């Protein structure tokens, strides 16, 4: 999918692996000036090294997206380094507990919502004012295909990712007339290290395999396939797309979830 990011200063949260890493490599190749953000330094360094091996470069910052001071610092570091903020891919997430609703502890519930929902809220809260300073920008939030459906043992994740859709629409409605575009991507099951760890649980593996059979393309997705859509949404090529929630799910969303 085409879309130049030449010269655009872009934050990527959850950049230390999976969708965030592959997307960051695509963004760098499209000309973006990147601030890679994640809670773990090692993953960030590995993503930075991969980008440099591709012939490009990127900066890194440690961030806890559930902590407002940390998010504020992430945005400030980006502006200090690049002088502006043009785009953001809010992609940070935590692994789900993989338990029935009644077995989820309050701590597990709060951990999921803190990162997957509050983290997106805090990113929007601090990214939007920074973008307004230079006339606008584009934000892409990672939700999930199960925000429009449901599978067992994912109550906290489904709740958080459904909330991301609401935040996306609310932000688009409030700031669209100020040249801030906010859209959401709804990945299906994507082959990331996080998903692979979940597949090591036999009970979850059964659920995922049933889901794979409902993917119209008969397979799970690759991180770069999500990244290509994110790249386009961050680019000026998608300038008429506001408040959208776009599946990247191999058709599972229209075939029983």
Query: Which of 203, 96, 196, 108 lies closest to 154, judged by CA?
Result: 96
Q: Which of 117, 126, 127 is nearest to 165 (CA)?
A: 117
CA-based nearest residue to 46, from 34, 35, 60: 60
Q: Is 157 a catalytic residue?
A: yes
Q: Determine the 3-state secondary structure of 113 from DSSP.
A: helix
Listed in sequence order, the residues at least 6 apart from 213 whose beta carbon sits closer than 8 Å to its beta carbon are none
Q: Choose, from 56, 89, 121, 157, the residue flagged as catalytic.
A: 157
Residue showing tokens 């090591």: 200
Contact 186, 221 (CB under 8 A): no
Which residues, in sequence order, are CB contacts of 225 under 8 Å at separation 6+? 190, 248
Please, are residues 257 and 149 in contact by the beta-carbon 8 Å criterion?
A: yes
C-alpha closest to that of 185 among 120, 106, 247: 247
Q: For residue 11, list its beta bridge partners.
A: 35, 88
Cα separation, 16 vs 37, whole angstroms: 7
The CA-CA-CA angle for residues 192, 232, 228, to 5°, reads 25
Q: Could you give the residue numbers annotated as active site?
A: 157
């Amino acid at each position: 999918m085409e879309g130049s990011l030449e010269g655009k200063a872009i934050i990527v949260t959850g950049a230390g692996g999976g969708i965030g890493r592959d997307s960051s490599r695509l963004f760098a190749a499209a000309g973006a000036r990147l601030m890679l953000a994640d809670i773990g330094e090692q993953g960030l360094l590995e993503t930075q090294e991969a980008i440099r091996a591709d012939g490009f470069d990127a900066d890194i910052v440690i961030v806890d997206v559930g902590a407002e001071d940390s998010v504020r610092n992430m945005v400030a570091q980006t502006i200090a380094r690049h002088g502006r903020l043009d785009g953001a891919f809010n992609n940070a997430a935590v692994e789900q507990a993989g338990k029935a609703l009644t077995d989820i502890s309050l701590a597990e519930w709060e951990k999921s919502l803190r990162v997957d929902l509050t983290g997106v809220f805090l990113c929007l809260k601090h990214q939007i004012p920074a973008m307004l300073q230079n006339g606008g920008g584009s934000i892409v939030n990672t939700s999930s295909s199960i925000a429009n459906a449901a599978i067992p043992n994912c109550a906290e994740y489904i709740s958080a990712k459904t909330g991301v859709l609401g935040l996306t629409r609310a932000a688009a409605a409030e700031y669209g007339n100020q040249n801030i575009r906010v859209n959401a991507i709804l990945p299906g099951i994507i082959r990331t290290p996080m998903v692979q760890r979940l597949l090591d649980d036999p009970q979850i593996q059964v659920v995922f395999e049933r889901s794979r059979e409902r993917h119209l393309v008969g397979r799970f997705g690759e991180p770069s396939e999500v990244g290509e859509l994110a790249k386009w949404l961050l680019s000026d090529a998608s300038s008429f797309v506001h408040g959208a929630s776009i599946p990247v799910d191999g058709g599972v969303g229209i075939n029983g979830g």
